[in-house]
Amino acid sequence: MRLGGEWTRSIRPIEDRSAIEIIDQTLLPWRVCWIRLAGLEEAAEAISTMRVRGAPLIGAVGAFGLALSLRADPSDDALDEAAERLIATRPTAVNLAWAVARVVRAVRNLPRGDRFEAAWAEASAIADEDALCCEAIGHHGLPLIAGISQRKGGSPVNILTHCNAGWLATVDWGTATAPIYRAHDAGIPVHVWVDETRPRNQGALLTAFELAGHGVPHTVVADNAGGHLMRRGEVDLVLVGTDRVARNGDVANKIGTYLKALAAADNGVPFWVALPHSTIDWSLASGELIPIEERSPAEVTELAGLAEDGGVRRVRVASPGSRAANPAFDITPARLVSGLITERGRCPASEAGLLSLYPDKA
Ligand code: MRU
């Protein structure tokens, strides 16, 4: 990922293994502030308050959080409690439970004295693999964009994306953004419609920040603009990430994704979903079984923004006294998904499609 002209990752393990550093995403794009997470509670707080967010990134931070907790207390009880505490912070993105379970498996049968080292090594492997997966997603997604570009005779490919499925949501590259960065770097003209993504505005704040940093032309639009743009033929491709894919290809992603898929289907716009294998929940037969996180109503009734004096302020944007609801994700049925882009290639959004790439899961 490119940050201030330099390549870095969204998570930086400290060399003496006393902590990790993450960018506090609640301060972006106004301030790039790296903060240290040195233990279980700091990691859990960073995930639940969304200082770090995005399915693959919370998986990697959860894994390091568990390792750091074992540094303080490597006992069996502490291991189980820490794993439970971390998994409970955000229930929809399966990457978190997947990564924590992977660290637990790596250390469970080891003597206490060896657990921290092994957990740290496993967390590092999870982070490294995520970066490689996302890079490969870019490789496999590129032909989609290149094909559209060719059909359009080289005029810019208009891609609509929702939420932030970029490097800020992963360890590097991003999922949905990886093919976009690749295309841009390959000289294919692209333009990205960035859904603002209420209530937390991950699109307007984070995706726009990322694309600007990489020099990718983009335009932020209100969430409700997508259908209109698609009807006018101004969207060639919808490309989003996901927090959990069920065995049948149903996709959980940021609230509002389903509406974009409906509009895309009605207008014949391809709707593709990019994900690493860690986002597939092989244990769930369909998306109806995916738990949907319900977040604080304050995220709907209030907004944070940059005031004219340079300070970051919260303001109320809903009528005082009204109740608000805040389901954070929705399910897009597989029938509305043109296909999935994974680190192993592209496939139809179906059990057969997924198994064609991951035959070991049959
Ligand atoms: O609530 P968030 O910001 O963690 O939600 C993130 C998303 O919905 C992303 O689209 C998803 O995690 C895919 S990330 C590569």
Q: Where are the domains of the chain?
A: 2-129, 136-361
Could you report the per-residue pLDDT of 134-183, keeping only the tens digit for each? 999 999 999 999 999 999 999 999 999 999 999 999 999 999 999 999 99
| pTM for the whole structure | 0.97
Q: Are 140 and 343 in contact (CB under 8 A)?
A: yes
CATH assignment of 136-361, among 3.40.50.10470, 1.20.1300.10, 3.90.1200.10, 3.30.70.660:
3.40.50.10470
| 189 pLDDT tier (thresholds 50, 70, 90) | very high
The answer to whether 42 and 18 are in contact (CB under 8 A) is no
**Does the C-beta of 256 come closer than 6 Å to ligand 1?**
no
Q: Is 201 close to ligand 1, i.e. is its CB under 6 Å away? A: no
Q: Percent of the chain scored above 90 by pLDDT?
A: 97
Contact present, 222 and 259 (Cβ < 8 Å): no
**Fold matches, 2-129 and 136-361:** no
Q: For ligand 1, say whether the CB of 251 is within 6 Å of any of its atoms.
A: no
- The catalytic residue among 172, 236, 243, 250 is 243
DSSP string for 173-213: S-STHHHHHHHHHTT--EEEEEE--TTTTHIIIIIHHHHHH
Which of 173, 202, 332 to probe ligand 1 with, by most ligand atoms within 8 A of CB? Answer: 202
Could you read off the pLDDT of 325-335 as tens digits, one per residue? 999 999 999 99
Q: How far apart are CA 159 and CA 194, in angstroms?
A: 9
> How much distance in Å is there from the Cα of 320 to the middle of ligand 1?
29
**What is the DSSP track for 268-331?**
T--EEEE--GGGEETT-SSGGGSPPPB--THHHHEEEEE-TTS-EEEEE-S-TT-----B-EEE
Tell me what the pLDDT averaged over the chain comes to: 97
Q: What is the pLDDT of residues 6-57, one digit of tens each?
A: 888 999 999 999 999 999 999 999 999 999 999 999 999 999 999 999 999 9
- Ligand 1 midpoint to CA 199 (Å): 13
Q: Which atom of ligand 1 is nearest to the CA of 254?
A: 8
Could you give the 3-state DSSP secondary structure of residue 109? coil
pLDDT above 80 for 2: no
Q: Ligand 1 mean position to 72 CA, how many Å?
A: 30
243 is catalytic: yes
Question: Which ligand 1 atom sits nearest the alpha carbon of residue 166?
Answer: 15
CB 151, CB 193: distance < 8 Å: no
**Mutation test of ligand 1: which of 24, 201, 239, 243 has the most ligand atoms closer than 8 Å to its C-beta?**
243
Place 4 in a pLDDT band, splitting at 50, 70 and 90: confident
Interval between CA 346 and ligand 1 midpoint (Å): 20
Please indicate whether residue 26, judged by its CB atom, sits closer than 6 Å to ligand 1: no
Task: Please check the confidence at residue 237 and state whether its pLDDT lies above 90.
Answer: yes
| 78 CA from centroid of ligand 1 (Å) | 29
Distance 152 CA to ligand 1 centre (A): 30
Ligand 1 pocket residue status of 202, Cβ below 6 Å: yes
The domain at 2-129 falls in which architecture?
Up-down Bundle (1.20)
